[in-house]
Chains A and B, each alone.
Chain A
Amino acid sequence: DADVTQTPRNRITKTGKRIMLECSQTKGHDRMYWYRQDPGLGLRLIYYSFDVKDINKGEISDGYSVSRQAQAKFSLSLESAIPNQTALYFCATSDPSTSGGETQYFGPGTRLLVL
Chain B
Amino acid sequence: QQQVKQSPQSLIVQKGGISIINCAYENTAFDYFPWYQQFPGKGPALLIAIRPDVSEKKEGRFTISFNKSAKQFSLHIMDSQPGDSATYFCAAGSSASKIIFGSGTRLSIRP
Chain A interface residues (CB < 8 Å from chain B): 4, 33, 35, 40-45, 48, 58, 90, 92, 94, 96, 100-109
By a CB distance below 8 angstroms, the chain A residues around B95 are 96, 102
Quote the shortest CB–CB distance from A57 to chain B (angstroms). Answer: 11
A43 to B43, CA, bound (A): 11
Whether B43 contacts A102 by the Cβ 8 Å rule is no
Whether A43 contacts B32 by the Cβ 8 Å rule is no
Quote the shortest CB–CB distance from B50 to chain A (angstroms). Answer: 9
With A42-B104, A100-B49, A101-B49 in contact, is A106–B43 under 8 Å at CB?
A: yes
29 A–B contacts from the bound complex (CB under 8 Å) = A4-B43, A33-B98, A40-B9, A40-B103, A42-B6, A42-B101, A43-B44, A43-B104, A44-B101, A45-B98, A48-B98, A58-B98, A90-B43, A90-B44, A100-B51, A101-B32, A101-B93, A102-B32, A102-B95, A103-B34, A103-B46, A103-B49, A104-B46, A105-B45, A106-B44, A108-B42, A108-B43, A109-B41, A109-B42
| B side interface size, CB within 8 A | 22
A45 to B3, CA, bound (A): 13
Whether A102 contacts B99 by the Cβ 8 Å rule is yes
- B66 at interface (Cβ–Cβ under 8 A)? no
With A41-B103, A42-B101 in contact, is A106–B49 under 8 Å at CB?
A: no
3 nearest A-B pairs in the assembled complex, by CB-CB distance: A106-B43, A42-B103, A101-B32
Quote the shortest CB–CB distance from B110 to chain A (angstroms). Answer: 21
By a CB distance below 8 angstroms, the chain A residues around B73 are none
